[in-house]
Structure 1
């Protein structure tokens, strides 16, 4: 259904039901599209799970350019969508501006904190899941050198980098972590060619495991690593299946659960900050049939031990965004 038809249908419904709450939730994807095999796709999967379990329907919009953010958000709010969930920190400034204009609409933003009485901010402890990925990389690396390729060079992605480095060095204190970022603009999330180039460059410097935290760009990293005969680590969605036996693991960020929970809560969505950490199942490393042959009992035991110690507080994984530093780098 086109957005205009949705708008007209929504208006008619409101008129007929005299204010009875019949609002559909909505989901706005960040740049890269809903089938990026990573962050946005995880959000889409959560929305689809909600549809399957409830039989409900929802509105969705895919971002095509930065300039569309405010227009897209206002358009959905005007149609009566409630709650409106958006994927990505880049919606932060726009939501701060728009939320007061629609006080009866609930908003949820993933990866950014926006303080408003009608906004839920959903954040993840990416550093904790990345720490586990770092342990795994250290235990399989033959060269003692691994790589990290981030998308846009921003503090949020440094959380992944820093946690990964800390986990790696907890096993290989003298090891080396190569670090590259794809760019400084949102285009950095959707450049698989550049991702592949960076992966090959890191391999030439000795990296035999590369962790990609770069959205759609990471697809190029995983492909290049597979082509070059080294291992990769996926991110956000479980990407193990993209190159079975060649992706060591994926640092899964349960964006799908965040969207599913927001849709399920609906207009009762509570404002404030919701933290999805390791203990709450917000982040993890994926082990399945596609990578099982790579995960030895020793590696699994190390992961389980680290999880328990992170949950108990015995291991404190540094949050880059707490002070914009990374002691492990």
Structure 2
């Protein structure tokens, strides 16, 4: 399993400034997301893993499920135990702080906050439990006992943009963002740059489902479907969604239009059982290997050498990638490989803001 080097001090400072600009994390509606908890045991002889999921939790078919895969792998290898607590869209900071504290009080170590919304609460709780190792996905928490697990979403999204530009037959594509927070802007920026660098003539429609502190855009498949349908009606034939479970609605809309393609996010959505009936419309997915980051962190705690600081999973480290399931991008793979090489060697600098 690859280990990811820490960022330089300068990069870490830059990442810290993006504390409030994080996570493709909120992912599903409040249906089945009522601050629920579950646990599974592998005999209790190994690490006790605490997972504080974002809304939707296990079963969201995207972000949270990727984190769950990493924890499940670690549980299987280390005969561990997992305790899961799941957020609600109505959560307050106090709710998140209590969730993390409950896991620490119950003896779970490490504890992972899945999503940017845990940044403030983890800063407080990590200080109260200095002997517990905490991990946070898609945000930066500056504490001695926290591993900040981040990704270069803009780089993977650039490749998604290249694919979209090469596959559109109408020179018209779309981007659906869940919430207009800085992290999701990274997805938009990379995608649009990839499209325009490949074919400047291609039109890109962009729509966000909610704004500011309203995170419902990550949890509303109906809104995702409506937004994608509007783009399709307007002439777009490839739509990339970075919107949590709202993206499932966008995929459904695309599936209803012959010749149109959807680009998934976070997980390889072609292979998600719950989306199987739409898989032939999923061109590719911009996979964000949250499972790798979560597994690496848990393994480090198990090995007695907990990762800390900011650890970034980049395109060069296969932290982000384009899925090849279905074979729909096989004909353009050579061009995608060229674009990837240029990003990795620095020939292409991918923007993080639109």
Length-normalised TM-score, structure 2: 0.82
Q: Aligned residue for 1:103?
A: 130
Q: Indicate the residue corresponding to 1:16 in structure 2.
A: none
User: Counterpart in 2 of 1:50?
Assistant: 74
Q: CA deviation at 1:3?
A: 7.5
Alignment of 1:24-173 (within 5 A): 24-64=48-88, 65-67=90-92, 68-173=95-200
Cα RMSD after superposing both structures: 2.0
Question: 1:80-110: per-residue Cα shift (whole Å, max 9, x none)?
Answer: 2111111111111111222111111111101
| Larger radius of gyration between Structure 1 and Structure 2 | 1
**1:85–1:262 CA contact under 8 A, matched in 2:** no
Offset at 1:5? 10
Query: Unaligned 5+ residue runs, structure 2?
Result: 1-35
Q: Which residue of 2 aligns with 1:18?
A: none
1:228 alignment partner, SS class: coil
Instruction: Tell me the alpha carbon deviations over residues 230-281 of structure 1, each in whole angstroms, 9 at most, x when there is no partner.
Output: 1100000000233222111000000011111111111532221001000111
Query: Which residue of the other structure, out of 282, 295, 298, is the alignment partner of 2:319?
Result: 282
Q: How does 1:194-273 map to 2 (within 5 A)?
A: 194-229=223-258, 230-241=260-271, 242=275, 243-266=278-301, 268-273=305-310
Establish whether residue 301 from structure 1 lines up as the match of residue 334 from structure 2. Answer: yes
Is contact 1:28–1:60 with CA below 8 Å preserved after alignment?
yes
Q: Report deviation, 1:54.
A: 2.8
Report the Cα distance in structure 1 between the residues aligned to 2:232 and 2:38, rounded to whole angstroms: 50
Contact 1:32 / 1:189 at 8 angstroms: preserved in 2? Answer: no
Output the TM-score relative to the length of structure 1: 0.88
Aligned equivalents of 2:175 and 2:38: distance in 1?
A: 44
Partners of 2:157 and 2:286 within 8 A in 1: yes
Counterpart contact for 1:31–1:186, Cα < 8 Å? no
**3-state DSSP of counterpart to 2:256:** helix
Asked if the contact 2:67/2:114 (under 8 Å) is kept, the reply is yes
Shift of 1:308: 1.2
CA contact (8 A) 1:147 1:202 kept: yes
Give distance in 1, aligned partners of 2:350 and 2:47: 40
Asked whether the 8 Å contact 2:47–2:80 carries over to 1, the reply is no
Shift of 1:168: 0.6
4+ runs deviating over 4 angstroms: 2-6
Corresponding position of 1:17 = none
Structure 1 segments unaligned to the other structure (5+ residues): 7-12, 14-20, 321-325
CA distance in 2, matches of 1:100, 1:52: 30
Higher helix share: 1
Task: Give 2:13's aligned residue.
Answer: none
Secondary structure in structure 2 of the residue aligned to 1:70: helix
Q: How many residues align?
A: 303
* Structure 1: distance between partners of 2:38 and 2:335: 54
Shift of 1:33: 2.1
Q: Is the CA contact (8 Å cut-off) linking 2:37 and 2:86 kept in structure 1?
A: no
